Structure 1
Amino acid sequence: MPLEEKKSLAQSKLLKKIIPVVMKDGFQHLKMEEISKLMDVSRATMYKHFSSKEEVIAGIARIFVDYIDQLKLHPLQVEEELFGISFQQLFEQSVSLAGKISEVFLKELQNSYPDLYDNLRSALQQREQQSLEFYRRGIDKGIFQPVNERFILLQDELLLREIMNTKYLLQNQTSIQQVLTDYYQFKKVQLFLPEKLGLVDDQLILPVIDHVAEKYNRTL
């Protein structure tokens, strides 16, 4: 393995140790000493990989950009029977992004490192554009309800974050698995024309929801 690739993998391994804390509490308050403790390495080892706090945050932003860039849908010129699969794929991606990138991180990134924020926002916007084109294609083919596709994206951005919040789950005495199942059914009925609901095989999404719920519960 090339030296540069080894270095990148080592950096990613360290960054992934602190991402949960940064997503939950932000990074403004963190000092380099605290970051090294969260990474579970000495300060000397940490400084071998990151020369500054900005480099740490840049590394986290890069991980997210790379992840978003890998999110792909089936080509837009798809057969009708593939719309159900693509819908579920998009649902899974939306849930994953809502669980990975927190609002507090985005706000602090925008305030402290606007260039990093712009790069991450650009990646998110490219994915949003792909999603909009998918929804528009479904409307044009008579598969989806003729709804405002931008409202669908906004709904994912705002509602998913809310229902995946621990406070919401506790207040409503429900589980992450239940709210994701309910939201999936809500989106499916909201989006597909009644006569096209047969294109969606719900059995395919159940293992995905179970996996997300398991990962979520491990972080509590």
Structure 2
Amino acid sequence: MNAPVRPDARTKLLKKLIVSVIRDGFQHLRMDDIAKYMDVSRATMYKYFSSKEDVMDGVVRIIVDYIERLEERNHNEDESYFGVWFQQLFEQSVSLVEYITDALMKDLQAAYPDLYNILKGVLQKREQHSLRFYRLGKDKGIFNAINEKFILLQDDLLLHEITSVKYLLYNHTTIKEVLHDYYQFKKMQLFKADKLSLVDDANINPVIEQLSEKFNRALM
């Protein structure tokens, strides 16, 4: 009798592949290519994944789980919650710039529309969840009275631009500096002056360091 497949083993293999899939898409990948990226033999890969669709299902589930983890933390609405959740939302917004690429979404829509719809649905749910958070902050007098839809649009457009290689090279800056500046920009934009103390910047420094390392590895 075969031993059951451990979910953590599948996840480890998928994480070896996920950067390439997200950056370049997956339509061109054969199962031999996937095994190579996972750094295992074809036979070993088939112990964990029955098909290319099974692999892509795993990739999408990793992204979906990451998005939904943030929602699970939304259970406390005292003022300190807004500073913490702002930082968590910032971290996730930056990470999703790396995870949700045009190459990935186009390939999913063309090859696996069901997986595309699952991911699209979770992203739409995240958007509505974020809008409720911003509206609640305004209602409680913590956030400035700005259009919350503009905040999401700003993340979608501006974050993609300032984290691009073209932007970094043209402005002679680093991803770490850009993320730090964008974080400060969003904090000052969102929180009222007398509520800035709710945000502990010491908590974000290791996060930005980690995000910067991930971006730099992806560019190598």
Q: How high is the TM-score relative to the length of structure 1?
A: 0.90
CA–CA distance in 1 between the matches of 2:4 and 2:114?
A: 24
Equivalent residue runs for 1:9-28 within 5 Å = 9-28=8-27
* Distance verdict in 2 for CA 1:75–1:28, change over 3 Å: closer
Q: In structure 2, what residue type is equivalent to 1:41? A: V
* Residue 142 (structure 1) aligns with: 141
* Residue 213 (structure 1) aligns with: 212
The superposition leaves residues 93-151 of structure 1 with CA deviations (integer Å, 9 ceiling, x where unpaired) of 21122223322211221222111011111222222222111100011111111111112
Q: Is the 8 A contact 2:142 2:192 kept in 1?
A: yes
* Residue 101 (structure 2) aligns with: 102
Equivalent residue runs for 1:99-138 within 5 Å = 99-138=98-137
Q: In structure 2, what residue type is equivalent to 1:92? A: E
Equivalent residue runs for 1:5-44 within 5 Å = 6=6, 8-44=7-43
Matched, 1:166 2:174: no
CA–CA distance in 1 between the matches of 2:57 and 2:44?
A: 18
Q: Is the 8 A contact 2:168 2:175 kept in 1?
A: yes
How many Å apart are 1:45 and its aligned residue?
Answer: 1.8
How many Å apart are 1:203 and its aligned residue?
Answer: 2.2
Q: Is the 8 A contact 2:14 2:55 kept in 1?
A: yes
CA–CA distance in 2 between the matches of 1:139 and 1:97?
A: 25
How many Å apart are 1:76 and its aligned residue?
Answer: 6.1
Equivalent pairs counted in the alignment come to 217
For structure 1, which segment, 77-86 or 40-49, has the greater mean C-alpha deviation from structure 2 after superposition?
77-86
Q: In structure 1, what residue type is equivalent to 2:101? A: S
CA–CA distance in 1 between the matches of 2:131 and 2:91?
A: 16
CA–CA distance in 1 between the matches of 2:140 and 2:185?
A: 21
Q: How high is the TM-score relative to the length of structure 2?
A: 0.90
Q: In structure 2, what residue type is equivalent to 1:178? A: E
How many Å apart are 1:68 and its aligned residue?
Answer: 1.5
CA–CA distance in 1 between the matches of 2:169 and 2:69?
A: 33
* Distance verdict in 2 for CA 1:62–1:30, change over 3 Å: same
How many Å apart are 1:157 and its aligned residue?
Answer: 1.9
CA–CA distance in 2 between the matches of 1:47 and 1:89?
A: 36
Q: Percent identity?
A: 59
Q: Is the 8 A contact 1:163 1:179 kept in 2?
A: yes
CA-atom RMSD, angstroms? 1.9
* Distance verdict in 2 for CA 1:31–1:208, change over 3 Å: same
Q: Is the 8 A contact 2:163 2:175 kept in 1?
A: yes
* Residue 59 (structure 1) aligns with: 58
* Distance verdict in 2 for CA 1:61–1:95, change over 3 Å: same
Question: Runs ≥4 in structure 1, deviation > 6 angstroms?
Answer: none
